[in-house]
Structure 1
Amino acid sequence: MTTSQVLFTAFVAAVGLERLAEMVVSRRHAAWAFARGAVESGRGHFPVMVLLHTALLAGGVIEVIAADRPFLPLLGYPMVALVVLAQGLRWWCIATLGPQWNTRVIVVPGAPLVGNGPYRLLRHPNYVAVVIEGAALPLVHTAYVTAVAFTVLNLLLLWVRIRVEEGALGLSGSSS
Protein backbone atom coordinates (compact mmCIF):
# COMPACT_ATOMS: atom_id res chain seq x y z
CA MET A 1 0.00 0.00 0.00
CA THR A 2 1.16 3.50 -0.77
CA THR A 3 1.45 6.17 1.90
CA SER A 4 -1.63 7.97 0.59
CA GLN A 5 -3.64 4.71 0.70
CA VAL A 6 -2.57 4.15 4.31
CA LEU A 7 -3.54 7.73 5.22
CA PHE A 8 -6.88 7.38 3.43
CA THR A 9 -7.58 4.11 5.24
CA ALA A 10 -6.78 5.81 8.56
CA PHE A 11 -9.08 8.73 7.66
CA VAL A 12 -11.91 6.33 6.80
CA ALA A 13 -11.26 4.45 10.05
CA ALA A 14 -11.56 7.74 11.94
CA VAL A 15 -14.93 8.36 10.29
CA GLY A 16 -15.89 4.80 11.27
CA LEU A 17 -14.97 5.55 14.89
CA GLU A 18 -17.09 8.69 14.71
CA ARG A 19 -19.98 6.52 13.52
CA LEU A 20 -19.48 4.21 16.51
CA ALA A 21 -19.63 7.26 18.79
CA GLU A 22 -22.94 8.17 17.13
CA MET A 23 -24.27 4.69 17.87
CA VAL A 24 -23.37 5.08 21.56
CA VAL A 25 -25.16 8.44 21.70
CA SER A 26 -28.10 6.99 19.76
CA ARG A 27 -28.52 4.10 22.20
CA ARG A 28 -28.47 6.48 25.16
CA HIS A 29 -31.03 8.71 23.48
CA ALA A 30 -33.23 5.73 22.59
CA ALA A 31 -33.31 4.64 26.23
CA TRP A 32 -34.24 8.20 27.25
CA ALA A 33 -36.99 8.34 24.62
CA PHE A 34 -38.49 4.91 25.32
CA ALA A 35 -38.60 5.77 29.04
CA ARG A 36 -40.89 8.64 27.98
CA GLY A 37 -43.23 6.50 25.89
CA ALA A 38 -41.52 6.93 22.52
CA VAL A 39 -42.65 5.06 19.45
CA GLU A 40 -40.27 3.75 16.78
CA SER A 41 -41.16 3.87 13.08
CA GLY A 42 -39.43 2.50 10.00
CA ARG A 43 -37.57 -0.36 11.63
CA GLY A 44 -37.51 -2.24 8.33
CA HIS A 45 -35.23 0.21 6.52
CA PHE A 46 -32.76 0.68 9.39
CA PRO A 47 -30.68 -2.48 8.69
CA VAL A 48 -30.43 -1.39 5.04
CA MET A 49 -29.16 2.00 6.19
CA VAL A 50 -26.53 0.40 8.44
CA LEU A 51 -25.42 -1.88 5.60
CA LEU A 52 -25.21 0.99 3.12
CA HIS A 53 -23.18 3.19 5.45
CA THR A 54 -20.84 0.30 6.28
CA ALA A 55 -20.45 -0.36 2.55
CA LEU A 56 -19.50 3.30 2.05
CA LEU A 57 -16.59 2.96 4.47
CA ALA A 58 -15.41 -0.44 3.25
CA GLY A 59 -16.10 0.25 -0.42
CA GLY A 60 -14.02 3.39 -0.54
CA VAL A 61 -10.98 1.67 0.95
CA ILE A 62 -11.40 -1.45 -1.21
CA GLU A 63 -11.79 0.60 -4.38
CA VAL A 64 -8.74 2.75 -3.63
CA ILE A 65 -6.55 -0.29 -3.00
CA ALA A 66 -7.97 -2.74 -5.56
CA ALA A 67 -8.24 -0.24 -8.41
CA ASP A 68 -5.09 1.63 -7.32
CA ARG A 69 -6.92 4.95 -7.37
CA PRO A 70 -4.55 7.93 -7.20
CA PHE A 71 -4.63 10.68 -4.61
CA LEU A 72 -5.19 13.95 -6.47
CA PRO A 73 -4.49 16.88 -4.13
CA LEU A 74 -6.73 19.30 -6.05
CA LEU A 75 -9.66 16.93 -5.45
CA GLY A 76 -8.59 15.21 -2.24
CA TYR A 77 -7.97 18.18 0.03
CA PRO A 78 -11.29 19.93 -0.71
CA MET A 79 -13.06 16.58 -0.15
CA VAL A 80 -11.33 16.24 3.25
CA ALA A 81 -12.64 19.72 4.11
CA LEU A 82 -16.17 18.73 3.04
CA VAL A 83 -16.05 15.55 5.14
CA VAL A 84 -14.92 17.56 8.18
CA LEU A 85 -17.63 20.18 7.58
CA ALA A 86 -20.24 17.41 7.22
CA GLN A 87 -19.14 15.98 10.57
CA GLY A 88 -19.47 19.43 12.10
CA LEU A 89 -22.98 19.81 10.71
CA ARG A 90 -23.94 16.35 11.98
CA TRP A 91 -22.73 17.09 15.51
CA TRP A 92 -24.48 20.48 15.42
CA CYS A 93 -27.67 18.54 14.65
CA ILE A 94 -26.99 16.12 17.50
CA ALA A 95 -26.31 18.96 19.94
CA THR A 96 -29.40 20.88 18.81
CA LEU A 97 -31.79 17.93 19.08
CA GLY A 98 -30.24 16.71 22.33
CA PRO A 99 -31.86 13.48 23.51
CA GLN A 100 -34.39 13.65 20.66
CA TRP A 101 -31.62 12.89 18.11
CA ASN A 102 -31.29 9.28 17.05
CA THR A 103 -30.03 7.15 14.19
CA ARG A 104 -33.45 5.48 14.25
CA VAL A 105 -36.85 7.14 13.86
CA ILE A 106 -37.95 7.34 17.49
CA VAL A 107 -40.49 9.99 18.48
CA VAL A 108 -41.60 10.94 21.98
CA PRO A 109 -45.34 11.75 21.82
CA GLY A 110 -45.99 15.41 22.50
CA ALA A 111 -42.35 16.44 22.22
CA PRO A 112 -42.10 19.76 20.41
CA LEU A 113 -40.47 19.96 17.00
CA VAL A 114 -37.04 21.56 17.16
CA GLY A 115 -36.77 24.69 15.06
CA ASN A 116 -33.48 26.19 16.17
CA GLY A 117 -29.84 25.55 15.27
CA PRO A 118 -29.49 24.11 11.76
CA TYR A 119 -33.21 23.22 11.79
CA ARG A 120 -34.13 26.89 11.43
CA LEU A 121 -32.30 26.84 8.08
CA LEU A 122 -33.04 23.34 6.74
CA ARG A 123 -35.74 20.79 7.35
CA HIS A 124 -33.30 17.84 7.30
CA PRO A 125 -29.77 19.15 7.97
CA ASN A 126 -28.48 15.81 9.23
CA TYR A 127 -29.34 14.24 5.87
CA VAL A 128 -27.53 17.07 4.09
CA ALA A 129 -24.46 16.09 6.12
CA VAL A 130 -24.92 12.43 5.12
CA VAL A 131 -25.21 13.29 1.41
CA ILE A 132 -22.11 15.52 1.51
CA GLU A 133 -20.08 12.96 3.43
CA GLY A 134 -21.19 10.07 1.21
CA ALA A 135 -20.01 11.81 -1.93
CA ALA A 136 -16.91 13.46 -0.49
CA LEU A 137 -15.37 10.68 1.61
CA PRO A 138 -14.61 8.29 -1.27
CA LEU A 139 -13.49 11.19 -3.48
CA VAL A 140 -10.75 12.07 -0.99
CA HIS A 141 -8.81 9.36 -2.85
CA THR A 142 -10.76 9.31 -6.17
CA ALA A 143 -12.96 6.30 -5.34
CA TYR A 144 -15.58 7.59 -7.74
CA VAL A 145 -17.44 4.28 -8.18
CA THR A 146 -18.09 4.14 -4.44
CA ALA A 147 -19.07 7.81 -4.38
CA VAL A 148 -21.60 7.43 -7.19
CA ALA A 149 -23.01 4.10 -6.00
CA PHE A 150 -23.44 5.32 -2.42
CA THR A 151 -24.99 8.60 -3.54
CA VAL A 152 -27.58 6.93 -5.78
CA LEU A 153 -28.49 4.24 -3.24
CA ASN A 154 -28.50 6.72 -0.39
CA LEU A 155 -30.87 9.06 -2.22
CA LEU A 156 -33.30 6.15 -2.66
CA LEU A 157 -32.95 5.27 1.01
CA LEU A 158 -33.41 8.89 2.09
CA TRP A 159 -36.58 9.10 0.01
CA VAL A 160 -37.97 6.27 2.18
CA ARG A 161 -36.42 7.54 5.41
CA ILE A 162 -37.70 11.11 5.12
CA ARG A 163 -41.23 9.90 4.35
CA VAL A 164 -41.14 7.63 7.44
CA GLU A 165 -39.69 10.36 9.63
CA GLU A 166 -42.12 13.03 8.51
CA GLY A 167 -45.03 10.63 8.94
CA ALA A 168 -43.87 9.83 12.48
CA LEU A 169 -43.56 13.54 13.26
CA GLY A 170 -46.96 14.30 11.73
CA LEU A 171 -45.51 16.51 9.00
CA SER A 172 -46.77 16.67 5.44
CA GLY A 173 -44.57 16.95 2.38
CA SER A 174 -40.81 16.59 2.40
CA SER A 175 -38.55 19.46 1.53
CA SER A 176 -34.91 19.14 2.46
Structure 2
Amino acid sequence: MLTFMWVIFIFIVIQRFMELKIAKDNELWMKERGGVERGREHYKWFVIVHGLFFISIIIEFSYRGFPTEQFSLVLFTLFLFTQLIRVWCIRSLGKFWNTKIIISPEFSLVKKGPYKYVKHPNYIIVGIELFIIPLLFGAYLTAVIFPILHVLLLFIRIPVENRALVEAYNIEK
Protein backbone atom coordinates (compact mmCIF):
# COMPACT_ATOMS: atom_id res chain seq x y z
CA MET A 1 0.00 0.00 0.00
CA LEU A 2 2.87 2.35 0.79
CA THR A 3 4.19 1.99 -2.77
CA PHE A 4 0.70 2.72 -4.15
CA MET A 5 0.54 5.92 -2.08
CA TRP A 6 3.91 7.09 -3.40
CA VAL A 7 2.70 6.36 -6.95
CA ILE A 8 -0.34 8.57 -6.30
CA PHE A 9 1.85 11.30 -4.85
CA ILE A 10 4.31 11.19 -7.76
CA PHE A 11 1.38 11.18 -10.22
CA ILE A 12 0.01 14.36 -8.63
CA VAL A 13 3.39 16.10 -8.68
CA ILE A 14 3.99 15.14 -12.34
CA GLN A 15 0.45 16.27 -13.18
CA ARG A 16 1.14 19.68 -11.61
CA PHE A 17 4.40 20.09 -13.52
CA MET A 18 2.62 19.16 -16.77
CA GLU A 19 -0.04 21.76 -15.97
CA LEU A 20 2.66 24.38 -15.39
CA LYS A 21 4.06 23.54 -18.85
CA ILE A 22 0.57 23.88 -20.38
CA ALA A 23 0.10 27.17 -18.53
CA LYS A 24 3.45 28.50 -19.77
CA ASP A 25 2.65 27.52 -23.37
CA ASN A 26 -0.78 29.13 -23.05
CA GLU A 27 0.77 32.24 -21.51
CA LEU A 28 3.12 32.64 -24.44
CA TRP A 29 0.29 32.03 -26.91
CA MET A 30 -1.92 34.64 -25.20
CA LYS A 31 0.84 37.24 -24.90
CA GLU A 32 1.74 36.81 -28.58
CA ARG A 33 -1.88 37.78 -29.27
CA GLY A 34 -1.98 40.81 -27.02
CA GLY A 35 -2.75 39.15 -23.69
CA VAL A 36 -1.81 41.15 -20.61
CA GLU A 37 -0.91 39.66 -17.25
CA ARG A 38 -2.59 41.00 -14.13
CA GLY A 39 -1.90 40.19 -10.49
CA ARG A 40 1.77 39.42 -11.01
CA GLU A 41 2.51 40.70 -7.49
CA HIS A 42 0.56 37.95 -5.74
CA TYR A 43 1.30 35.06 -8.12
CA LYS A 44 4.53 34.17 -6.29
CA TRP A 45 2.46 33.40 -3.19
CA PHE A 46 0.49 30.76 -5.09
CA VAL A 47 3.77 29.17 -6.18
CA ILE A 48 5.11 29.24 -2.62
CA VAL A 49 1.90 27.86 -1.05
CA HIS A 50 1.57 25.06 -3.60
CA GLY A 51 5.23 24.13 -3.28
CA LEU A 52 4.97 24.06 0.51
CA PHE A 53 1.79 22.00 0.19
CA PHE A 54 3.71 19.08 -1.30
CA ILE A 55 6.58 19.47 1.13
CA SER A 56 4.12 19.52 4.02
CA ILE A 57 2.48 16.29 2.84
CA ILE A 58 5.87 14.58 2.58
CA ILE A 59 6.88 15.74 6.07
CA GLU A 60 3.59 14.69 7.67
CA PHE A 61 3.40 11.44 5.71
CA SER A 62 6.99 10.57 6.63
CA TYR A 63 6.57 11.58 10.27
CA ARG A 64 3.27 9.78 10.87
CA GLY A 65 3.85 6.84 8.58
CA PHE A 66 0.98 5.31 6.70
CA PRO A 67 -0.83 2.33 8.23
CA THR A 68 -2.28 0.19 5.43
CA GLU A 69 -5.73 0.13 7.04
CA GLN A 70 -5.87 3.92 6.68
CA PHE A 71 -6.41 3.96 2.89
CA SER A 72 -9.85 5.36 2.14
CA LEU A 73 -11.60 4.30 -1.04
CA VAL A 74 -14.07 7.15 -0.51
CA LEU A 75 -11.30 9.77 -0.41
CA PHE A 76 -9.57 8.18 -3.38
CA THR A 77 -12.85 8.24 -5.34
CA LEU A 78 -13.35 11.91 -4.42
CA PHE A 79 -9.78 12.60 -5.53
CA LEU A 80 -10.45 10.95 -8.90
CA PHE A 81 -13.69 12.95 -9.24
CA THR A 82 -11.83 16.22 -8.58
CA GLN A 83 -9.30 15.24 -11.25
CA LEU A 84 -12.10 14.80 -13.78
CA ILE A 85 -13.49 18.22 -12.96
CA ARG A 86 -9.98 19.72 -13.02
CA VAL A 87 -9.43 18.33 -16.53
CA TRP A 88 -12.90 19.59 -17.52
CA CYS A 89 -11.92 23.10 -16.35
CA ILE A 90 -8.63 23.03 -18.25
CA ARG A 91 -10.16 21.61 -21.44
CA SER A 92 -13.07 24.05 -21.32
CA LEU A 93 -10.72 27.04 -21.29
CA GLY A 94 -8.32 25.45 -23.77
CA LYS A 95 -5.59 27.94 -24.73
CA PHE A 96 -7.04 30.42 -22.23
CA TRP A 97 -6.44 28.21 -19.17
CA ASN A 98 -3.59 29.46 -17.04
CA THR A 99 -2.22 29.60 -13.54
CA LYS A 100 -1.78 33.35 -14.05
CA ILE A 101 -4.34 36.02 -14.84
CA ILE A 102 -3.86 36.81 -18.52
CA ILE A 103 -6.59 38.79 -20.22
CA SER A 104 -7.13 39.81 -23.81
CA PRO A 105 -10.26 41.61 -25.01
CA GLU A 106 -9.44 40.27 -28.48
CA PHE A 107 -11.08 37.00 -27.47
CA SER A 108 -14.52 36.21 -26.15
CA LEU A 109 -14.98 35.29 -22.52
CA VAL A 110 -15.23 31.51 -22.18
CA LYS A 111 -18.60 30.45 -20.79
CA LYS A 112 -18.69 26.73 -21.47
CA GLY A 113 -18.06 23.61 -19.44
CA PRO A 114 -18.10 24.33 -15.71
CA TYR A 115 -17.63 28.05 -16.47
CA LYS A 116 -21.22 28.06 -17.72
CA TYR A 117 -22.37 27.32 -14.15
CA VAL A 118 -19.73 28.79 -11.83
CA LYS A 119 -17.48 31.81 -12.24
CA HIS A 120 -14.26 30.27 -10.85
CA PRO A 121 -14.67 26.46 -10.84
CA ASN A 122 -10.94 25.75 -10.96
CA TYR A 123 -10.39 27.62 -7.69
CA ILE A 124 -13.14 25.58 -6.05
CA ILE A 125 -11.60 22.31 -7.25
CA VAL A 126 -8.13 23.34 -6.09
CA GLY A 127 -9.54 24.16 -2.65
CA ILE A 128 -11.20 20.75 -2.46
CA GLU A 129 -7.99 19.06 -3.61
CA LEU A 130 -5.97 20.89 -0.98
CA PHE A 131 -8.24 19.20 1.56
CA ILE A 132 -8.69 15.74 0.02
CA ILE A 133 -5.11 15.02 -1.12
CA PRO A 134 -3.55 15.45 2.34
CA LEU A 135 -6.32 13.36 3.91
CA LEU A 136 -5.43 10.54 1.50
CA PHE A 137 -1.95 10.58 3.03
CA GLY A 138 -3.00 11.05 6.64
CA ALA A 139 -1.57 14.58 6.58
CA TYR A 140 -4.30 16.12 8.71
CA LEU A 141 -2.51 19.34 9.59
CA THR A 142 -1.82 19.98 5.90
CA ALA A 143 -5.50 19.31 5.15
CA VAL A 144 -6.47 22.13 7.51
CA ILE A 145 -3.75 24.72 6.85
CA PHE A 146 -3.53 24.73 3.05
CA PRO A 147 -7.22 25.12 2.17
CA ILE A 148 -7.24 28.11 4.53
CA LEU A 149 -4.15 29.57 2.84
CA HIS A 150 -5.82 28.97 -0.55
CA VAL A 151 -8.94 30.87 0.54
CA LEU A 152 -6.82 33.73 1.89
CA LEU A 153 -4.98 33.98 -1.43
CA LEU A 154 -8.29 33.93 -3.29
CA PHE A 155 -9.40 36.99 -1.31
CA ILE A 156 -6.61 38.78 -3.18
CA ARG A 157 -6.73 36.99 -6.52
CA ILE A 158 -10.45 36.86 -7.32
CA PRO A 159 -10.98 40.65 -7.02
CA VAL A 160 -7.94 41.24 -9.25
CA GLU A 161 -9.22 38.72 -11.78
CA ASN A 162 -12.77 40.08 -11.64
CA ARG A 163 -11.53 43.66 -12.21
CA ALA A 164 -9.47 42.46 -15.17
CA LEU A 165 -12.51 40.67 -16.64
CA VAL A 166 -14.73 43.74 -16.10
CA GLU A 167 -12.17 45.97 -17.82
CA ALA A 168 -11.61 43.58 -20.72
CA TYR A 169 -15.16 42.39 -21.35
CA ASN A 170 -17.41 45.04 -19.77
CA ILE A 171 -19.15 42.42 -17.69
CA GLU A 172 -20.63 42.92 -14.25
CA LYS A 173 -18.84 41.54 -11.22
What letter matches 2:144 in structure 1? V
Shift of 1:38: 0.8
Counterpart for residue 47 of structure 1: 44
Find out whether 1:116 has 2:132 as its counterpart.
Answer: no
Q: 1:125 aligns with which of 121, 124, 127?
A: 121
% of aligned pairs identical? 34
Cα separation, 1, equivalents of 2:80 and 2:162: 28
Q: 2:79 aligns with which of 83, 88, 92?
A: 83
Counterpart for residue 153 of structure 1: 149
Find out whether 1:67 has 2:51 as its counterpart.
Answer: no
RMSD: 1.7
What letter matches 1:111 in structure 2? F
Cα contact 1:135–1:150 (8 A) shared by 2: yes
Instruction: After superposing the two structures, state which structure 1 stretch, 19-28 or 76-85, moved more.
Output: 76-85
Cα deviations across residues 100-127 of structure 1 (Å, max 9, x unaligned)? 1111001112321111111111111111
TM-score using structure 1 length: 0.88
Counterpart for residue 11 of structure 1: 8
Cα separation, 2, equivalents of 1:72 and 1:149: 25
Q: How does 1:13-32 map to 2 (within 5 A)?
A: 13-32=10-29
Counterpart for residue 159 of structure 2: 163
What is the aligned length?
Answer: 169
**Which structure 1 residue ranges, 5 or more long, are not aligned?**
none
More helix by share: 2
Structure 1 runs of 4+ with >2 Å offset: 6-10, 67-73
TM-score using structure 2 length: 0.90
Counterpart for residue 38 of structure 1: 35
